[in-house]
Amino acid sequence: MATSAAMRMVGIDVSAGWIDVERAAADEPVAVRRVANTAAGHRAVGRWLTQGGRDARVVLEATGVYSWDLALALQRTARVEVMVLNPRVSKDFAGACGQRASTDATAARRLREYAARMPFVPWVPPSAAALELRALMRRVAAVVEMRTQEHNRWHALRATAALPAAVRTEVRTHIQSLGRQIARLERAARTVVQSAPALQARYDRLRSIPGVGVRSALGLLAELAVLPPTLTARQWVAQAGLDPRPVRSGSSVHPPVRISKRGNVHLRRVLFMPALVAVRRSPAVQRLATQLTAQGKAPLQVLVAVMRKLLHAIYGMLKANTDFDGERFRRSALAPT
């Protein structure tokens, strides 16, 4: 890659229909371009960024399926480096720069300025199997939520005889159909895991944790397998939005410490049930919960603390390729982090 002075700094704002691109370098003016968010548009962006044999450093936000194909296309383009930025980080950067307007053009400019001013972390795309697993398990989570809503409707319908029987029949049939969808998706997810030895090994480790069943193990693996391998345990916690955010000012402003919730909500949600079950089934986790309760922690605070400590334990298990050790978990959980 060229020196930073000769390199083009690029910000790209991605939406469903189009891509807004802004590029600039120390020896050339700012240039903007809008192309369709299609495979042909992605190739056009790659050619435009490297026009004249120049190197380019690109920053774009993680916007799910809309940005994924573009990020992969640019990753494969010679002379282009890609960084995929958390949208919350981008928003905080805009606030720090005093940027109030929010349009496609200003978003591309903000991301270009981020590329020029902030440390650049190259994006490492996850494996195809990991991405397939994540897509399947996120769909499972969505269908499970729909089935829960239908179960709630079914409970309400059974409380009255005034509604037509056809309505009750339709809801009951829909619940059964959603159950079959969940089973098919989970079978497909298990097939993906079994076809990838690295995923299978991590799945087996997760299943050794008390309270982690098949669905929870698949859901955890789906979210953890796409994280960059260079992250630390604390960065995993931050990715899940479970990192504490204390607020202290002077001698009077001391609100309760809360978690940031600035992270992967899917990972946070999939950790909830394993932590809840582990508190009931694992003696080591029970003792930790009891000690935290004795310190004055509320039930939800205890559960969040267990989720955070459990994520730390999973990190160590997967790094060392070992099964869950309850006593080791309790000792490390009580140590300051």
Q: From the CB of residue 311, how many other CB atoms can be counted at a distance below 10 Å?
A: 22
Could you report the per-residue pLDDT of 299-327, keeping only the tens digit for each?
888 999 899 999 999 999 999 999 998 87
In a domain, 23, yes or no: yes
- The confidence score (pLDDT) of residue 257 equals 61
- The confidence score (pLDDT) of residue 132 equals 95
Contact indicator for 126, 225 with CB cutoff of 8 Å: yes
Least confident of 177-191, 235-249, 265-279: 235-249
Containing domain of residue 107, as a range? 8-117
Quick one: 317 and 229 in the same domain?
A: yes
Across the range 272-283, mean pLDDT stands at 89
Quick one: 209 and 291 in the same domain?
A: yes
Least confident of 78-92, 165-179, 303-317: 78-92
- The confidence score (pLDDT) of residue 251 equals 53
Specify the 3-state DSSP secondary structure of 9: strand
Quick one: 330 and 231 in the same domain?
A: yes
What CATH number should be reported for the domain holding residue 78?
Answer: 3.30.420.40
If one counts the domains in the chain, the total is 2
Quick one: 217 and 184 in the same domain?
A: yes
In a domain, 145, yes or no: yes
Q: Which residues have CB under 8 Å from 112's CB, separation 6+? A: 9, 10, 11, 22, 23, 24, 30, 59
Across the range 290-304, mean pLDDT stands at 89
Least confident of 102-106, 125-129, 160-164: 102-106
Could you report the per-residue pLDDT of 248-271, keeping only the tens digit for each?
555 544 556 677 677 788 999 999
Across the range 220-243, mean pLDDT stands at 88
Global pTM value? 0.80
